[in-house]
Amino acid sequence: MFFFYSLVYTLAFLAMLPVFAVSGIVRGKRAAGFFQRLSLFLPAFTPDDRNVVWLHCVSVGEANAARPLVDRLHTEFPNVRLIISTTTRTGQKLAKEIFKDADAVFYVPFDWRWTVRRVLRHFRPTLLVIMETELWLNLIREACKSHTRIALVNGRMSERSFKRYAAFKKTMKRLFGYIDRGLIQTGADANRFMALGMRASKVKVTGNLKFDHSITETEVALTDEFRARFVSADGGPLIIAASTHEPEERYVLEAFRKTWEKTREALPRLMIAPRHPERFDDVARLIEGSGFQYVRRSAAPDEKDAEAEVILLDSIGELRAAFPLAEIVFVGGSLIEHGGQSILEPAAAGKAIITGPYTHNFKAIVEEFVEREALIQLPKEALNDAAASLAAEFCKLLDRPEKRKGLGERARAAMNNNRGAIDRTFEQLRPLIERSPNRPSSR
């Protein structure tokens, strides 16, 4: 099965080569780190007698979730070396910013045996920590064969993913045999992992690391910077459209226009933060075509920025610092079948949250928040006129500050009720970090 997987992976890679080439020329997205993913031009690193923890995060969300875990690692094991890999360009950029004390930050290798082996020989990790559900077969198998211990951290598996993996249950059982610890977010997730063959003795429900949200000094300073640049003394309330996907920006802008027409108090302002950086220019053109006065975060600061009606947050890793300035947050990816983005960052800021009906990526979390009346979720019927439905909710919340406050307080309470994942996770990782592996004398 592993041979068949590698064959299919190679054929898919060859089929995607033209896409890599075009994207590299036109947008520079998929070409980012291409050669490094071939295990070429890796960061300089000289192995020594110290243990090496390899932390793999796909992108921004996983990197942010891992940050308090890394802080704990440095506090309790100051001599342990840390290397970090990501899959996406945005994740790479953020990782270099927030993990400045890491010994190396690089792109995860393509999942062939030879690329993975080159990386393992270069860094000689003693522990591989995989965030969430990055189940790359050759990466996990080769790491195990090189005597690297493996932990799946903040693991989750949706019902949809479970059904896909269930078609390869025998392979999944073999793959899970290579993993030393499966630290899983919820009991439902744990049951799915065990149903696919992960031994119960390896599985621990440790909770979701994203609930253990902590605000850094850098974020506080950035919030102050945003406040000074974009907020005026007599300015109206700010609505943030967070992590939006196409065509959600169009719905949000139309909803914003309708809200303006109905607002009785100070006119609100809108900040749009697209999920994918390669869409920043497209969204800028869309905003410009809407007729609203707007400003881009990436533009040079101007005294008129505080008067802009729409702000385009065309930056990476700064959205969390903007949430404290908002009154209402719409979380994107939820008006389309993408399945939604995380609601936890605006919840930690105590904001009134609105989502669309498609939130299956965070099903358990959203269900808990809905049960606690800690967010507003639009029904599927609302998609018949998404802009009008959003505008109606915007207007209700703007007209009723006590409702906004109650939603935000309940959202923050739901966050606090689920804290503790960092402690539970690190307790399980500690023995894996402490033990030196029984390495062969030569590699």
pLDDT for the residue 443: 35
Q: How far is CA 296 from CA 227, 233, 275, 292, 324, in A?
A: 15, 20, 15, 13, 19
Domain ranges of the chain: 1-31, 32-212+420-434, 218-417
| Residue reference for tokens 């499966």 | 182
- pLDDT at site 437: 57
The token duo for 206 is 């440790």
Q: How far is CA 32 from CA 87, 221, 331, 367, 432, in A?
A: 10, 30, 27, 37, 32
Rounded to the nearest angstrom, the gap between the alpha carbon of residue 165 and the centroid of all alpha carbons in its chain is 22
The pLDDT of residue 442:
33
Q: How much is the pLDDT for 61?
A: 86
The structure's pTM equals: 0.88
Domain 32-212+420-434 shares a fold with domain 218-417: yes
pLDDT tens across the length of the chain (443 residues): 667 788 888 888 888 777 666 665 445 555 558 889 999 999 999 999 999 999 999 988 899 899 999 999 999 999 999 999 999 888 898 999 999 999 999 999 999 999 999 999 999 999 999 999 889 999 999 999 999 999 999 999 988 899 999 999 999 999 999 999 999 999 999 999 999 999 999 999 999 999 998 888 889 999 999 999 999 877 799 999 999 999 999 999 999 999 999 987 789 999 999 999 999 999 999 999 999 999 999 999 998 999 999 999 999 989 999 999 999 999 999 999 999 999 999 999 999 999 999 999 899 899 999 999 999 999 999 999 999 999 999 999 999 999 999 999 999 999 999 999 999 999 999 999 997 655 443 33
CA distance 48 to 185: 34
Q: How far, in Å, CA of 170 to CA of 193, rounded?
A: 13
Q: Specify the pLDDT at position 215.
A: 86
Residue at token pair 């003693």: 126
Specify the fold of 218-417.
Rossmann fold (3.40.50)
d(CA 390, CA 373): 18
Backbone angles phi, psi at 32, to 5 degrees: -60, 125
- CATH code of the domain made up of 32-212+420-434: 3.40.50.11720
Residue 108 token pair: 């995860």
- 8 A C-beta contact, residue 414 and residue 369: yes
Query: Side chain identity at 137, as an amino acid letter?
Result: L
| CA quadruple 255, 260, 266, 268: dihedral sign | positive
